[in-house]
């Protein structure tokens, strides 16, 4: 239940930050790396992990979406994440869970990334 709350909170936060003028950018996408993308062995919700490196000179917050794709490129699940603050030059980890169950081999695609300077 706690992870579900985190996923819902992340999705809400992502929509709020993007709605505040962050927008999607290639630079923000370049800062986000996926290091793990896997289905649940029992066919439950897939999981993704990765890192964000803030390549700017200001503390920044990030929002993004991960699409879980089957071998044919079809989306089988998705999840969103909000990382509230990453210091300049720092790298932090992130983790998220897809919203629906998925079986079999998966790849992860990051999109709708936004980076916003935070005070």
Domains observed in the chain: 2-117 (2.60.40)
pLDDT surpassing 90 at residue 109 = yes
> For residue 94, is pLDDT > 70?
yes
- Structure confidence at residue 16 (pLDDT): 37
Mean pLDDT of the chain: 84
Give the Cα separation of 99 and 58 in Å (integer): 32
| The predicted structure's pLDDT at residue 24 | 55
pTM over the 0.85 mark: no
2's enclosing H/E stretch is helix 2-17
Query: 41 or 20, which is more confident?
Result: 41
- Residue 40: what pLDDT? 82
């Amino acid at each position: 239940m706690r992870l579900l709350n985190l996923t819902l909170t992340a999705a809400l936060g992502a929509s709020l930050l993007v709605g505040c003028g962050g927008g999607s950018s290639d630079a923000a996408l370049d800062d986000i790396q996926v290091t793990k993308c896997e289905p649940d062995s029992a066919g439950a919700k897939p999981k993704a992990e990765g890192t964000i490196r803030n390549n700017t000179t200001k503390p920044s917050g990030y929002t993004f979406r991960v699409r879980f794709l089957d071998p044919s490129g079809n989306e089988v699940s998705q999840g969103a994440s909000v990382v509230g603050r990453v210091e300049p030059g720092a790298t932090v980890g992130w983790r998220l869970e897809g919203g629906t169950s998925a079986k079999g081999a998966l790849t992860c695609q990051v999109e709708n990334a936004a980076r916003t300077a935070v005070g």
